[in-house]
Amino acid sequence: MRDPYEILGLGPGAGNAEIKLAYRKLAKQLHPDTQGASPAQQARFQEVTAAYNQLKDEASRRRFEAERRASAAMRRRPAFEEAHPVSGSQVPPDDIFSELFEGIRSAGKRVFRARGDDQTYRLAVTFLEAANGAKKRVTLAGGRTLELAVPPGIESGKQIRLRGQGGEGHGGAEAGDALVTIDVEAHPYFRREGNDIHLTLPVTLAEAVLGSRIEAPTVAGPVSLSVPAGSNTGTRLRLRGRGLAGEGGKTGDQYVTLSVTLPDAADEALRDFAANWTAGLKFNPRNGFSDS
């Protein structure tokens, strides 16, 4: 095998960080799972992996250095020692040669082992699916489909890890994982802030002035909401525990902001009332609005 430093494009004495960076760069370029990988590319990937295994930690590097020193010593050994070996006694094996053979055995076992790549995917879910949780099917590489459990309260950008569903491992190593990033679609009237839900809800003039009980939507379905008499546009009401599930079992709230809405069709009685409503005509809601 060639010098592992040379295989990784490094000089002797490179440190851990340099070795890891060089290996990751080459492995990404040469990985057999890449489209159109040739036999030569696969062989090169195996060579790079073997070189990394020899140098990836201090113990491995010490074994390699011992092998290199032993090889150099053997090349420098005088020829007459081979022709005229010492007689009468056995020369005990040198520690260097013990490390040499152990290093060769260990490197051989690790040459073809490499964990599979993690593979990334994106999955779009509706606002209500993210709020309440859902079962979704996700299509993985090669056309495989799996059912994915979307947990209640998940946010856009969060990842769900499917262990062992990524790229295939090499040499008996474990497969990588599938990482599914969630994209939550916007809702026409619900809005999320942390674990709280916000909603602007139209009410009639009569409901706001006289007070009433109305139906209000929540992420879990409609509920009955009490509108206090004399409410106005901008009045905010809280529905406790009607938000999203959070950490530690704490659930957010839903906040309902009222918006007084008049009918689109002309209402003569309402117009006559407003025209003769003395208190209403005297009231100016813009007093002080433009003061600097």
CA 274 centroid distance within chain:
58
DSSP output for 182-230: EEEPP-SSEEEETTEEEEEEEE-HHHHHH-EEEEE--TT--EEEEE-TT
Whether pLDDT at 106 is above 90: no
Stronger pLDDT, 254 or 45, i.e. the higher one: 254
**Domain's final residue, options 110, 127, 160:** 110
Total domain count for the chain? 3
For residues 120, 123, 128 and 133, what is the CA-based torsion angle, rounded to 10 degrees? -50
130-164, pLDDT tens digit by residue?
Answer: 999 999 999 998 888 999 999 999 999 999 999 99
Q: Is residue 87 part of a domain?
A: yes
DSSP output for 139-192: E-GGG-EEEEEE-TT--TT-EEEETT-SSPPBTTPPP--EEEEEEEPP-SSEEE
Domain range for 246 is 190-282
Band (pLDDT 50/70/90 cuts) for residue 75 is low
Same domain, 78 and 159: no
Mean pLDDT of 96-113: 54
Whether pLDDT at 91 is above 50: no
Mean pLDDT of 114-125: 91
pTM metric for this prediction:
0.58
Same domain, 162 and 217: no
**Domain's final residue, options 64, 92, 110:** 110
Same domain, 199 and 179: no
18-74, pLDDT tens digit by residue?
Answer: 888 888 888 888 877 665 667 788 788 888 888 888 787 777 777 777 777 777 766
Band (pLDDT 50/70/90 cuts) for residue 95 is low
Band (pLDDT 50/70/90 cuts) for residue 86 is very low
Instruction: Report, in angstroms and rounded to the nearest whole number, the Rg of the chain calculated over CA atoms.
Output: 36
What's the confidence (pLDDT) of residue 160?
A: 95
Q: Look over the chain and give the mean of its residue pLDDT values, rounded to a whole number.
A: 83
**Residue 249 phi, psi dihedral angles, 5° rounding:** 80, 5
